């Protein structure tokens, strides 16, 4: 059972916190007692409630990310944990992916994490250290077809995580990656609508779920639990690591023995 106060007195920053995995992370950290500043790209991201402040911000903007980190410090007194959840999925091979699409995916998924951490690391250092958790993907390890830009961005994120973990270990800052399989988020449902053909969205989601040995897609809250573990003090000797939350997806090879 989770400690209901495992983040009491802590301050967290979450990008992409208005939807999907990011929203579940905000809710989990808030439930654990943290004060949270999060951002989202859509106008509805702006919100405020006790111990949680949401703002509209662009992770591709260095100024926006500095303002977000500064907001966490000015409003709640410091910064202890950073979780980068902002990301987009786009489809295409290297042949048919336009330069504009490539730049969009790499700018949001990869550059956005770099800019967030660039703004946040000095603030974490001021508190004597902390934790950075980067939401990556199983596609950092194994790719499906037609995701050249997306898979590249996620593989690069895992390299960035290792680099930051080494560079900032002496500052007491731990850096880890969480690599989910398919998760029932608006982004996955957008993809299901794109590829469902004559099927319903639910039918295609169920089919994708069956590709995971556990037989279903994940719930965002299940990924948020791994994020919370890595963001908090229970993982105090873990850094530079990649943690799969994939229902066994990467444990298998696509060879089925005959009955």
Is-contact 85 135, C-beta < 8 A? yes
Is-contact 54 12, C-beta < 8 A? no
Is-contact 123 148, C-beta < 8 A? no
Question: What is the number of alpha carbons within 13 Å of residue 106 lying toward its C-beta?
Answer: 11
Which positions ≥6 away from 205 have C-beta within 8 Å?
A: 184, 188, 189, 192, 217
Q: Known catalytic residue: 150?
A: yes
- C-alpha 15: how far from its chain's center? 8
Which one of 76, 91, 114, 150 is the catalytic residue? Answer: 150
Maximum CA pair distance of the chain? 63
Is-contact 153 139, C-beta < 8 A? no
Phi, psi (deg, nearest 5) at residue 76: -120, 0
Is-contact 21 185, C-beta < 8 A? yes
Residues with catalytic function: 150
């Amino acid at each position: 059972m989770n400690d209901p106060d495992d983040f009491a007195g802590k301050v967290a920053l979450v990008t992409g916190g208005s939807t999907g995995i990011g929203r579940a992370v905000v809710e989990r950290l808030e439930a654990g007692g943290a004060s949270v500043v999060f951002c989202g790209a859509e106008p509805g991201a702006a919100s405020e409630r006790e111990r949680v402040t949401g703002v509209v911000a662009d992770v591709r903007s260095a100024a926006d990310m500095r303002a977000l980190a500064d907001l966490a410090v000015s409003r709640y007194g410091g910064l202890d944990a950073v979780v980068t959840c902002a990301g987009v999925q786009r489809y295409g091979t290297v042949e048919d992916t336009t330069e504009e699409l490539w730049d969009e995916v790499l700018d949001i998924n990869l550059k956005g994490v770099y800019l967030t951490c660039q703004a946040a690391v000095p603030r974490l250092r001021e508190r004597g250290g902390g934790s950075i958790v980067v939401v990556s993907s199983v596609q950092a390890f194994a790719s499906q077809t037609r995701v050249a830009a997306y898979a590249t961005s996620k593989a690069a994120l895992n390299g960035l995580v290792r680099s930051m973990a080494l560079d900032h270990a002496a500052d007491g800052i731990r850096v880890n990656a969480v690599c989910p399989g398919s998760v029932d988020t608006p982004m996955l449902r957008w993809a299901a609508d794109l590829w469902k053909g004559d099927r319903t969205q639910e039918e295609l989601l169920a089919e994708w779920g069956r590709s995971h040995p556990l037989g279903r897609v994940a719930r965002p809250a299940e990924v948020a639990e791994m994020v919370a573990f890595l963001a908090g003090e229970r993982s105090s000797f873990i850094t530079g690591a990649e943690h799969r939350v994939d229902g066994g997806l990467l444990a298998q090879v696509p060879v089925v023995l005959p009955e």
